[in-house]
Amino acid sequence: MSSTFQAVDPSTGTPGATFEAATPADVHAAVTAADEAFRAGALRDPQRRAALLRGAAERLRAAGDEIVAVAGSETGLPEGRLRGELERTAGQLEAFAAVVDAGDYVEAIIDRADPDAKPIPRPDVRRMLVPIGPVAVFGASNFPLAFSTAGGDTASALAAGCPVIVKGHPSHPGTSAVVARELAGAVADAGLPEATFALLQSSGVEVGEALVDEPAIAAVGFTGSFAGGKALYDRAAARERPIPVFAEMGSVNPIVVTEAALSERSEAIAEGLAASVASFGGQLCTKPGVVFIPAGEAGEAFAADLGARLTAAEPQVLLNERLRDALTASVAELGELAEPVDGAGTPAEPGFRFRPAAYRAAADDVRDRPGLLEERFGPIVLLLSYRSREELLDALLRIDGQLTGSVHAQPEDAELVALLTVALGERAGRVIFDGFPTGVAVTYGMHHGGPFPATTAPAHTSVGMTAIRRFLRPVALQDAPEHVLPPELQDANPLGIWRRVDGELTRDALTQ
Amino acid sequence: MSSTFQAVDPSTGTPGATFEAATPADVHAAVTAADEAFRAGALRDPQRRAALLRGAAERLRAAGDEIVAVAGSETGLPEGRLRGELERTAGQLEAFAAVVDAGDYVEAIIDRADPDAKPIPRPDVRRMLVPIGPVAVFGASNFPLAFSTAGGDTASALAAGCPVIVKGHPSHPGTSAVVARELAGAVADAGLPEATFALLQSSGVEVGEALVDEPAIAAVGFTGSFAGGKALYDRAAARERPIPVFAEMGSVNPIVVTEAALSERSEAIAEGLAASVASFGGQLCTKPGVVFIPAGEAGEAFAADLGARLTAAEPQVLLNERLRDALTASVAELGELAEPVDGAGTPAEPGFRFRPAAYRAAADDVRDRPGLLEERFGPIVLLLSYRSREELLDALLRIDGQLTGSVHAQPEDAELVALLTVALGERAGRVIFDGFPTGVAVTYGMHHGGPFPATTAPAHTSVGMTAIRRFLRPVALQDAPEHVLPPELQDANPLGIWRRVDGELTRDALTQ
């Protein structure tokens, strides 16, 4: 029994190519093969993994024109954005190859034996991180490359040594297919088993559910809606063997603008904010959804400026019909709770478009209208005006776990900024100063995560080099003979990695 | 409405002191106060946290006679063991103080700005780990000190900067009360808020359930039975804001003995194994439950030797009546699946005692009798005889996630040992060579954890210095002004900690 589904160009609503959906048997076969590939051992070779990641980057760049063309027709995203996203995706794969090369992501720790230790003699204990097992990745609709088939979850899981099975997002099946073809080529080029990577396409939820239920799946990476991520989290927790779900589910990304900042650079902030809200249809998990501005004349002027900028912008193409309908309903709800500053946010044509808009309410209103603080995935922003520092801080305390929080301030705001840094740091994974949360830089220490409900795993990130930690678990070897020690734990430290020996970081070999 | 419960001396069955159980109002008050203490900021001071941990160690040692006397009367554990456990507990507190002093557990990462980065300019990103919030700790019955009120979970959570609320184990309420008194004293001495630490006593499950349900609780540490840990995991996952549960739930800790090892040192292995199985009533989460031995004459002789040693041992005091009854039922079930080698394991008096015993079956039997591989918490061990390497490896593959796996082998077994290291490493958190899994050394890299069902969080450990990672989450500051940067992230690196700057580990200050 097979079924099919169609790609759709959201800029016109025109149906495109037809794709065959995976069956339950396909899911089981892919996971079984991935588990065998995991156990076979070739993935333990860091050189092959680095070759896979670099090869994938090279192949994606080489197929860039084809990928950008298909992705453009399936997402409505502009070519410049897709070229940038492709380069980011390739760069991310290469950055994880460098992490594999450096090798110290295994967090090797060696505690040498101490026969005189009290209360009991101490054995030789050597611990490192090892891959957790086959990983299921759910791609996001809004980043058809960087958070999808060969995106950050896939790159970090492969770098860790875990086979990956991607449930392709039905909003860009052609893009997923082309990227998967190149990734499969890189797997073969690197001499790794074919089942190191697989793509399962489907438009319904059954394939994803079956994937999470497969006993051999060891962890799940997900980027998308709260409803989707929470459903996977609940499903994975209810398995006979529960597994971790690293779901990044978005947030309202509060921004605070101080009175001093507004009087100094109101126009620059309005310009940056309008771009951050409306670009790419506002369909970014870090899109600013709520902005706190001072009540009074300067705030009024700022709101009017921002509202006009958004209303004047072109209607934005949304990624698919479902998102357009959900946003339409959500903005209608917002219209009951707040007022449009200028024009209202409404759907537009051709295809699945939406008019950007700003809404406004008083910061104090969030006490009685918690719906004001819900995410609206699209080019919509809510301005909340505060009359005092107390009102501002009180409203901030009502905000749930967030991916980001931002502050626009001036040097004279030092005391307030310190308070805001604590308040935002308690509820967000990243605090940004005098900038906007969109445009997440892929750097070593980037943290793209945050307390629930922004994610289901506040201790982890889905962007940046430490994302690899999600797919690793420690194993300790006690009094192991040298011949079974992996290179990372051998006395001679043949890989030259950083290790913690008797509590101190060092790259030296062990001396007896 | 209050209720009381009594301590019981398990060596005689005699009731002891009476304790008042916490009420739901007590739970809420303790969590509310802990949350306020968390936000108040004093816990962010590493010097005070180190002072608390060292002060607690000093106070516990000073109260050692009282603690050991109370714990002995509540657990039946011998004085020597309790003195050793007290020293281990104090040493663990001090070791975490040293981790706080060293400061690099925050995993500071600094990526400097790069305005020329492609595809977009790179901001200054500085990331470190911060405490997750108030932690609930469920003490274990079998380690009244090291895994209880001031045990590893409490020590690592306090070191991380999280207030701790302990649900005391009803099997040793007097011990918990004395330890809590000393810990409270150390909190006051360190100038920290009183609510930094609280103990809630009760004999039922309601107090623990209410504790896990409290919205401000951010994580749970637990050591105990599978049923208990899994119930807390499920409860925490079903909260409106799900939280992580770090439950360490025990396992059967398989041991493999090769033919060569048996022919070389059968007696030494039997002696070590008998001690590992029977000591302290076999009530250790790392007690060897299943031992694979070669079929044939040498194996027969080994089994007879071990069986005789166990049968000759004194009946062991179990921790409480409930454990004695559960073990009685579990061993009766084992008697249906396997044969006693010598005498059977049976309850004894006075108090709640049990006769140590070995049982035997063929390794091949685990195919049809999965019940053979269940944990029996007490001085009972099952010998499984294997006729071939294939039979051995096949049986190992049927074993679930484990805390440990051990191998006793000789140099000529190198090839087999390599295979066993992989098979055991895939399902256990620690692999031990020519030793026994009991007696977990508290070292930097000790891993006391493992895949489910050994734990609910295979990426983490409950023993060793990395246990602190459970109670931390990352926060990144982007383009932050120097005045809001914590010392760990300041240019000058005033704490002199290791940091990853632009991808490389260094203790140097940043130069512009």
Q: Do A478 and B443 touch (CB under 8 A)?
A: no
> Three-class SS of residue B213?
helix
What value does the mean pLDDT of chain A take?
A: 97
The whole-angstrom distance between A8's CA and the closest CA on chain B is 28
Tell me the pLDDT tens digit for each residue of B440-479. Answer: 999 999 999 999 999 999 999 999 999 999 999 999 999 9
Cα A184 to Cα A178: distance, rounded to the nearest angstrom: 10
Contact A135, A163 (CB under 8 A): yes
Neighbours of B18 (CB within 10 A): 10
Global pTM value? 0.98
- Across residues A473-484, what is the average pLDDT? 97
Structure tokens at B406: 């051990």
**Closest-approach residue (CA) in chain B for A503:** B444
Percent of chain A with pLDDT over 70: 99
The whole-angstrom distance between B109's CA and the closest CA on chain A is 5
- Chain B hits for A118, CB-CB cut-off 8 Å, are 87, 91
State yes or no: pLDDT of A1 exceeds 70: no
Partnered with residue A233 across adjacent β-strands are none
Instruction: Flag whether the ipTM exceeds 0.90.
Output: yes
Under DSSP, the state recorded for A233 is H
Q: Which of A428, A459, A464 sits opposite B472 (nearest CB)?
A: A459
Q: How sure is the predictor about B121, in pLDDT bands with cuts at 50, 70 and 90?
A: confident
Strands B402-408 and B255-257: parallel
State yes or no: pLDDT of B317 exceeds 90: yes
Q: How sure is the predictor about B512, in pLDDT bands with cuts at 50, 70 and 90?
A: low
Closest CA to B269 of B437, B436, B439: B436
Give φ, ψ of B233 to 5 degrees: -60, -50
In three state form, how does the secondary structure of A290-338 look? EEEEECCHHHHHHHHHHHHHHHHCCCEECCCHHHHHHHHHHHHHHHHHC
Q: Do A425 and B505 touch (CB under 8 A)?
A: no
> Three-class SS of residue A52?
helix
DSSP string, B350-379: TTTEE--EEEEEEGGGGGT-GGGGS---SS
Structure tokens at A37: 């590939």
State yes or no: pLDDT of A512 exceeds 90: no
Give whole-number Cα distances, B344 to B335, B361, B497, B501, in Å: 8, 14, 57, 62
**Closest-approach residue (CA) in chain B for A416:** B484
Q: Which of B83, B449, B479 sits opposite A435 (nearest CB)?
A: B479
Q: Do A505 and B484 touch (CB under 8 A)?
A: no
The whole-angstrom distance between B153's CA and the closest CA on chain A is 17
Q: Do B505 and A446 touch (CB under 8 A)?
A: no
Q: Do A242 and B461 touch (CB under 8 A)?
A: no
> Three-class SS of residue A20?
strand
Pick from A87, A125, A256 the residue to mutate for testing the B interface (most B CBs within 10 Å): A125
- Chain B hits for A445, CB-CB cut-off 8 Å, are 109-111, 125-127, 476, 500
Give φ, ψ of B501 to 5 degrees: -110, 120
Q: Do B244 and A459 touch (CB under 8 A)?
A: yes
Q: Do B433 and A480 touch (CB under 8 A)?
A: yes
- pLDDT at residue A250 in the model: 82
State yes or no: pLDDT of B54 exceeds 80: yes
Tell me the pLDDT tens digit for each residue of B172-196. Answer: 999 999 999 999 999 999 999 999 9
Pick from B443, B461, B470, B479 the residue to mutate for testing the A interface (most A CBs within 10 Å): B443
Neighbours of B494 (CB within 10 A): 10
In three state form, how does the secondary structure of B41-84 look? CHHHCHHHHHHHHHHHHHHHHHCHHHHHHHHHHHHCCCHHHHHH
Give whole-number Cα distances, A420 to A6, A34, A366, A389, B111, in Å: 47, 47, 18, 10, 23
Strands A357-362 and A219-223: unpaired
Give B114-122's long-range contacts (Cβ < 8 A, gap of 24+): B117/A441, B118/A87, B118/A91, B119/A83, B119/A84, B119/A85, B119/A87, B119/A88, B120/A84, B120/A439, B120/A441, B122/A441, B122/A443
Tell me the pLDDT tens digit for each residue of B192-238. Answer: 999 999 999 999 999 999 999 999 999 999 999 999 999 999 999 99
Annotated active-site positions of B, please?
248, 285
How much is the CA Rg of chain B, to the nearest whole Å? 25
- Across residues B90-107, what is the average pLDDT? 98
Contact A414, A362 (CB under 8 A): no
Q: How sure is the predictor about A511, in pLDDT bands with cuts at 50, 70 and 90?
A: confident
The whole-angstrom distance between A13's CA and the closest CA on chain B is 30
Q: Which secondary-structure segment (H or E) carries A277?
A: helix A259-278
Q: Do A458 and B132 touch (CB under 8 A)?
A: yes
**Closest-approach residue (CA) in chain B for A452:** B241
Q: Do B476 and A503 touch (CB under 8 A)?
A: no
- Chain A hits for B123, CB-CB cut-off 8 Å, are 432, 435, 441
Percent of chain B with pLDDT over 90: 97
The whole-angstrom distance between B349's CA and the closest CA on chain A is 31
- Chain A hits for B477, CB-CB cut-off 8 Å, are 421, 425, 430-431, 433
**Closest-approach residue (CA) in chain A for B463:** A476
Cα A431 to Cα A418: distance, rounded to the nearest angstrom: 12
Pick from A116, A156, A444 the residue to mutate for testing the B interface (most B CBs within 10 Å): A444
DSSP string, A420-466: HHHHHHHHEEEEEESS-S-S----TT-----STTSBS-TT--SSSGG
- Across residues A453-464, what is the average pLDDT? 97
Q: How many CA atoms lie within 13 A of B444 on its CB side?
A: 20
Query: What are the residues whose beta carbons fall under 8 Å from the beta carbon of A197, sequence distance 6 or more?
Result: A154, A158, A163, A164, A165, A166, A180, A183, A184, A187
- Chain B hits for A107, CB-CB cut-off 8 Å, are 466
Annotated active-site positions of A, please?
248, 285
**B353-354, strands of its sheet edge to edge:** B316-317, B353-354, B347-348
